[in-house]
């Protein structure tokens, strides 16, 4: 019986094609009557829904004009209630037959969910106390020819939400909050870095060579020069040139393109923040990274506690800083600080169930990193800095003066996800040359993502480079929003931390990304110190060589980068 009833209801419901035709017929009737909504070009609004609700006393009884999309309608007699939505919220409209013209009321009764209207009236409270607008004039500004998703269930299909983000924004307030929070964060990030004396610059997106990171590039063709060019996979090289040229603190918020795997959390294009500071080291970059997160959380959320990925995260300043050796000792029980032999280190890793990648050299550094990558990251729930990475996975980071097997590098983790990466840049030209050679050998043996060595460029920059620090941050936008986040606090966390683990729309696959991330971010450090802190995606590499740069492009120019994904 239930199945029969469902079939009968389905048969009684109009099909989508019928609904579309009805809406088109309504539009044609309006146009034939000389009331075509699409000839409207401007509507002067004097108040938004949130303004009226938040400061009702200032609007009570006063004439105002509001506009928005009809989200619901109820009542069919002499009075009709409806809710309209603008970009700040929703507010109820009260439309009485005797308060508007006969034609306006007749037309309004035929308006559909999704239509956009402008109204003139005054603010008041209903008998139930709901703040509303008593409408005195209605103008149809745009006719919606397609129905919105059913209001009680909204838009729940994840793939559809990504493909039709505009409908997602209409139906899901949390998605709109994600965009708003992200916008605030980008603006705040700029103010924060500007306040520290950094200068924002804009660098080329097209390059005749793919470099600066371990990633496959997108290839395009320059018709005038008749050469293939590559979309940048990192912003590093040009920022380093600016440091060499005497600009001591620079950063870029820019789009990065990587021709690799994708899923709802990893997009081939994403945004990074990369900054360089002369005369500083990776400790200074840790202070900056921690400061960005903690001050933003306190300013816009009013608390250091956030809910993200099912965990309560405490951003209170003073995050733990562990060396990789200490972290492995604490969580795995293997003390690599007491091991000096490569074979012994590999054996110790194998004893705890850690196997090195087939292509990896069987060294102490690779064994240490494999133990950390496979056994430790998942335990780093609260914000934690892991420092002193092996040289093998940090080809462009400066060696530690205390232990030449390690580098002055950190990565920041939250909920087992890498959120940022930085290191003191390698500026020893001889050491850098040897590491470039090692990368070239990797490519010769089939590693397509190994960084290309550009000797003359590297030598020219490294020989002039001072001590520098680099930082990189990955951010993604609405598309990377966590679809499971439904609370405002989770919306905030999503954009503060990034969506989905070590990557978000715009990275590699999780396993690959964790492996490439390190090669990637290290090898971009050619002789400066820079750090990377990422906020939504975590693959943020760098950009390394561009033989055709003009001097003007080398110098860069002040600019504002925005990302979308």
pLDDT digits (tens, 9 = 90+) for 488-520: 333 333 334 432 222 222 233 333 333 333 334
pLDDT score of 451: 56
As beta bridge partners, residue 257 has 269
Give the whole-angstrom CA distance, residue 465 versus residue 428.
9
pLDDT score of 359: 81
Burial of 457 (0-12, 13-18, 19+ CB in 10 A): buried
In 3D, which of 475, 472, 471 has the Cα closest to residue 537?
475
Question: Is 528:243 a contact under the CB 8 Å cutoff?
Answer: yes
Residue whose token pair is 């605030």: 184
In 3D, which of 63, 135, 153, 150 has the Cα closest to residue 96?
135
Q: Report, in this order, helix, strand and coil percent for the chain, each rounded to 5.
A: 35, 25, 40
Residue whose token pair is 């080329």: 204
3-state per-residue secondary structure call for 481-540: CCCCCCCHHHHHHHHHHCCCCCCCCCCCCHHHHHHHHHHHHHHCCCCCCEEEECCCCCCC
What does the pLDDT look like over 254-312, one tens digit per residue? 999 999 887 766 789 999 899 999 999 999 999 999 999 999 999 988 999 999 889 99
Question: Is 138:95 a contact under the CB 8 Å cutoff?
Answer: yes
pLDDT score of 403: 93
Give the whole-angstrom CA distance, residue 341 versus residue 348.
11
Question: Is 308:490 a contact under the CB 8 Å cutoff?
Answer: yes
pLDDT score of 507: 31
Model pTM above 0.85: no
- Provide the token pair at 293: 């997160």
Give the whole-angstrom CA distance, residue 116 versus residue 85.
9
Query: What are residue 514's phi and psi, to 5 degrees?
Result: -65, -35
Give the whole-angstrom CA distance, residue 485 versus residue 499.
10
In 3D, which of 256, 158, 206, 239 has the Cα closest to residue 475?
256
Per-residue pLDDT of the chain (565 residues; tens, 9 = 90+): 455 555 555 455 567 688 899 999 999 999 999 999 999 889 999 999 999 999 999 999 999 999 999 999 998 789 999 999 999 999 999 999 999 999 999 999 999 999 999 999 999 999 999 999 999 999 999 999 999 887 656 667 777 787 888 888 998 888 898 899 999 999 999 999 999 999 999 999 999 888 777 788 999 999 999 999 999 999 988 999 999 999 999 999 999 999 988 776 678 999 989 999 999 999 999 999 999 999 999 998 899 999 988 999 999 999 999 999 999 999 999 999 999 999 999 999 999 999 998 888 899 999 999 999 999 999 999 999 999 999 989 888 999 999 999 999 999 999 998 888 899 988 888 888 887 777 677 667 665 555 554 444 444 444 444 556 666 655 443 333 333 333 333 333 333 443 222 222 223 333 333 333 333 433 333 333 333 333 322 222 222 222 222 222 222 222 222 222 2
Give the whole-angstrom CA distance, residue 115 versus residue 516.
48
- Provide the token pair at 433: 């040359």
Kindly give, in sequence order, each residue whose CB lies less than 8 Å from that of residue 162, ignoring residues fewer than 6 positions away. Answer: 168, 264, 479
3-state per-residue secondary structure call for 41-73: CCCCCCCCHHHHHHCHHHHECCEEEEEEEEEEE
């Amino acid at each position: 019986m239930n199945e029969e009833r469902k079939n009968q209801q389905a048969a009684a419901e109009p099909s989508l094609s019928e609904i579309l035709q009805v809406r088109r017929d309504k539009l044609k009737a309006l146009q034939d009557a000389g009331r075509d909504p699409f000839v409207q070009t401007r509507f002067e609004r004097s108040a938004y829904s949130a303004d009226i609700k938040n400061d009702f006393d200032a609007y009570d009884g006063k004439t105002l004009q509001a506009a928005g999309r009809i989200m619901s309608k109820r009542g069919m007699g002499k009075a009709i209630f409806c809710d309209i939505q603008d970009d700040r919220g929703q507010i109820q409209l009260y439309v009485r037959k005797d308060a508007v013209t006969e034609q306006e009321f007749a037309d309004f009764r035929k308006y559909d969910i999704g239509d956009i209207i402008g109204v003139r009236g005054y603010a008041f409270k209903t008998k139930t106390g709901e703040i509303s607008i008593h409408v005195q004039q209605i103008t149809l500004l745009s006719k919606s020819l397609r129905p919105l998703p059913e209001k009680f269930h909204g838009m729940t299909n994840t793939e559809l939400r990504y493909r039709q983000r505009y409908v997602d924004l209409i139906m899901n307030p949390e998605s709109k909050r994600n965009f708003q929070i992200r916008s605030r964060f980008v603006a705040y990030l700029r103010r924060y870095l500007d306040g520290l004396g950094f200068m924002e610059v804009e660098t080329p997106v097209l390059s005749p060579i793919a470099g600066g990171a371990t990633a496959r590039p997108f290839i395009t063709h320059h018709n005038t020069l008749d050469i293939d060019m590559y979309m940048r996979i990192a912003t590093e090289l040009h920022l380093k040139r600016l440091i060499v040229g005497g600009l001591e603190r620079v950063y870029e918020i820019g789009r990065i393109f990587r021709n690799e795997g994708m899923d709802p959390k990893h997009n081939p294009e994403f945004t990074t923040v990369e900054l360089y500071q002369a005369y500083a080291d990776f400790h200074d970059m840790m202070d900056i990274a921690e400061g960005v997160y903690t001050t933003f959380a306190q300013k816009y959320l009013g608390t250091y506690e956030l809910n993200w990925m099912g965990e309560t995260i405490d951003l209170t300043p003073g995050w733990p800083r562990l060396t990789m050796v200490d972290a492995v000792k604490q969580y795995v029980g293997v003390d690599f600080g007491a091991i000096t032999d490569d074979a012994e280190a590999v054996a110790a890793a194998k004893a705890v169930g850690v196997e090195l990648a087939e292509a990896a050299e069987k060294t102490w550094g690779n064994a240490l990193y494999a133990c950390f990558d496979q056994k430790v990251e998942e335990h780093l729930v609260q914000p934690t800095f892991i420092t002193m990475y092996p040289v093998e996975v940090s080809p462009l980071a400066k060696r530690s003066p205390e232990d030449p097997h390690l580098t002055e590098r950190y990565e920041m983790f939250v909920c087992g996800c890498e959120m940022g990466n930085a290191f003191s840049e390698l500026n020893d030209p001889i050491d850098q040359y040897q590491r470039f050679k090692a990368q070239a050998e990797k490519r010769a043996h089939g590693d397509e993502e190994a960084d290309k060595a550009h000797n003359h460029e590297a030598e020219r920059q490294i020989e002039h480079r001072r001590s520098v620090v680099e930082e990189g941050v990955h951010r993604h936008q609405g598309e990377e929003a966590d679809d499971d986040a439904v609370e405002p606090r989770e919306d905030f966390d999503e954009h503060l931390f990034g969506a989905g683990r070590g990557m978000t729309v715009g990275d590699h696959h999780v396993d690959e990304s964790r492996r490439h991330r390190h090669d990637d971010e290290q090898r971009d450090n050619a002789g400066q110190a820079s750090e990377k802190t990422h906020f939504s995606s975590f693959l943020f590499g760098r950009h390394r060589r561009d033989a055709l740069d003009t001097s003007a492009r080398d110098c860069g120019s002040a600019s504002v980068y925005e990302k979308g994904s």
